[in-house]
Structure 1
């Protein structure tokens, strides 16, 4: 028999996994930067907006026994934890595996070398 994992437990494990991925595995330390924390409130606003629409209209339903019961904009507070884990993981992977910065294109055959206007 397999024990059921609650939505709350899964959300907390998701945050823990994202933190370990960011700080220990990839060593990007996105979560430790000021830029992350200054920009994350923008993500929260849009997450609450979309969650509110989906849960407020009954598109997404939650089993009351699997969540804490605290809701923000109709959605369980655990959704904010999942959103945090998703955003942090995505940013950490991007920082670690982003393509190198592109260098300016070389001058064409009809262009003289040197600075461009």
Structure 2
């Protein structure tokens, strides 16, 4: 299976996870796209250095051939899938844990007064 196919499957899985499995709907939020835009800049910088200097070399038969800042476009697809997957789970767990912590009663306040039998 080529890197292109794997990257496209990763994007499809991340979108399905966000939309239907976890229902976080991150991809509908402006903040996600602003954050992702920042991530892409640094991803392109790192990929450009790694592939531009020949540190990482891709098999031409495994990629589509389209490159952005020396890196194959599949790297952007794969990066999108990783970021979306991670943030979807982060939001999902945050909602679950936030909901469970709201149900717990608040701890009793601690007073500075010691019980009568412990003064000495």
Instruction: Give the structure-2-normalised TM-score.
Output: 0.79
Is it true that 1:48 corresponds to 2:44 in the alignment?
yes
Equivalent in 25, 30, 33 of residue 34 of structure 1: 30
How has the CA–CA distance of structure 1 residues 108 and 59 changed in structure 2, closer, same or farther, with 3 Å as cutoff?
Answer: farther
Deviation at 1:107, TM superposition (A): 5.6
RMSD of the alignment, in Å?
2.2
Match of 1:100 in 2: 98
Q: Deviations over 1:11-52 (max 9, x none)?
A: 111000000111010111111111111221101000001111
SS at match of 2:61: helix
How has the CA–CA distance of structure 1 residues 36 and 108 changed in structure 2, closer, same or farther, with 3 Å as cutoff?
Answer: same
Equivalent in 16, 24, 48 of residue 20 of structure 2: 24
Q: Which has the larger radius of gyration?
A: 2
Instruction: Give the structure-1-normalised TM-score.
Output: 0.81
Deviation at 1:100, TM superposition (A): 2.4
- The number of aligned residues is 107
Uncovered stretches (5+) of structure 2, i.e. residues with no partner = 113-120
Structure with bigger helix share is 2
Equivalent in 53, 60, 66 of residue 62 of structure 2: 66
